[in-house]
A and B are shown apart, each in its own frame.
Chain A
Amino acid sequence: MVRLITHNLLACHVKGCTSNNFPLEFKDVQVVLRESEFNPDFLRGFIPKLEWPALVGAARELGDTSLPDQLPEMLDDDFLKTLHHVLLEIHVEEGIMICPNCKHNYPVSNGIPNMLLAEHEIG
């Protein structure tokens, strides 16, 4: 699955593509929503690692506009539940992720992102 939790970690690794290589842009996606167990302790620990603007942008690409532009200071349960939904319940099943810099296409098929490169392509 490419959920937005994973998308927020992935970056292009083509040789020479070392800046503006994150976040990958979604194109032609098919999305499925699946409920998952809410875990506020996980979210509180994970938030410092999030690239917030990338998450907000990716969610909007997928049609979810529930996140604010800025990470709120108050991490109350309402906000954490919204974040939980965006990070962990939106599954990109099919589509393409495109590097904003070098435009390399990383396909997503049956929920699995293909990050393979030929070895001569890897930076």
Chain B
Amino acid sequence: MAPAVTATVVNEDAPESYEVAHVHDVYDAIASHFSSTRYKPWPIIAAFLANLQDGWVGLDSGTGNGKYLPLPLDRPGRQWTIGLDRSRNLLEIARTAGGASVLREVVWGDVLGHGWRREVFDYAISIATIHHLATPDRRKLAVERLLGAVSPAHGRVLIYVWATRQDEHSKRNIPTNSSGTGQDVFVPWVLAEDSTQVFNRYYHMFDDGELAALVTLAAEELGLVIGPAAAEGSLKGIEIVQDGWERSNHYVELRRWQT
């Protein structure tokens, strides 16, 4: 029986050090065991990566063990995804994601940074990452970084975060509130080799509608119109292509456009 998920309260005066203690340090400590449990790509994410163009380059912001870097498997080398993560130990694993004979490009960095040419990528994914940021402003900034990383003409973005609405098969019992703005929790990780070592990872679990609202705020911050591409005028915007829920996660797929 896994230890229970418990509610937590973020220290809003020091969210950065809160994330260091309850996210970054935890992943560096559990990297090897964590990675061994994360090997199967999710179908919607695999489908997103399978429908891009030859020659496109993408950013996997919060790549973890890099399991999405080799995709699509049927067209190896036709596009190039660069993995970014805050955990150095996970990046060492991500370098050889998909087998030691093929090396992946990985960068040690933070999802709130932007150490690349503006709008240079064709696509960006952020899977199970933004929910580790400890305040609404930081989560919004993380979305702004994704939108600002991709082409204004055709950039595509896919974001996944953990949901308060859990799958009926989920073994987890989740604390709830009725705020509509999600739930801050600790999710324990018990090391396989030493069950006395338990690490509490911080998550912000997203309520229904919260991810799309966050994306809307981030787009507005960047002066982007939200909706289908305008017929005329000199406008920049994003279209929300998909806004869904799958197996205890919310996801949103976006396309940038300009006229």
Known contacts A46-B80, A115-B113: does B105 contact A1 (CB below 8 Å)? yes
CB pair A42 B77 closer than 8 Å: yes
Once A and B bind, how many residue pairs between them come within 8 Å at the CB atom?
A: 103
Residues of B within 8 A of A123 (CB): 114
Which residues of A18-73 have CB atoms within 8 Å of chain B's CB atoms? Answer: 22, 34, 36-37, 39, 41-47, 49, 51
In the docked arrangement, what's the CA distance between A34 and B113, Å?
30
With an 8 Å Cβ cutoff, the count of chain A residues facing the other chain is: 37
A10 and B54 in contact, given A39-B77, A39-B78 (Cβ under 8 angstroms): no
Q: Most chain-B CB neighbours within 10 Å: which of A5, A44, A45, A114? A: A45
| Interface size grouping (class) on chain B | 35 or more
CB distance from A43 to the nearest CB of B (A): 7
Q: Is the Cβ of B54 less than 8 Å from the Cβ of A41?
A: yes
Please state if A42 and B103 are interface contacts (CB–CB under 8 Å): no
Q: How far is the CA of A87 from the CA of B9 in the complex (A)?
A: 47
Contact (Cβ within 8 A) A41 B55: yes
Q: Which of A1, A43, A44, A115 contacts B95 (CB 8 A)?
A: A1
Which A residue's beta carbon lies closest to that of B118? Answer: A11
Q: Assess the B54–A44 pair: CB atoms within 8 A.
A: yes
B91 partner residues in chain A, CB cutoff 8 A: 112
Does B246 sit at the interface, judged by CB under 8 A? no
- Contacting residues of chain A (53-111) with chain B, CB-CB under 8 angstroms: 91, 106, 110-111
**In the bound complex, how far is the Cα of B115 from the Cα of A106, in angstroms?**
10
* CB-CB nearest 4 A-B residue pairs: A45-B55, A115-B115, A115-B109, A39-B77
**Could you jot down 29 A-B contacts, CB within 8 Å?**
A1-B106, A5-B57, A5-B105, A9-B57, A9-B117, A9-B121, A10-B107, A10-B116, A10-B117, A11-B117, A13-B113, A22-B117, A34-B103, A37-B77, A42-B54, A42-B80, A44-B54, A45-B53, A46-B56, A49-B57, A51-B117, A91-B103, A112-B88, A112-B108, A115-B113, A115-B115, A116-B108, A119-B110, A123-B114
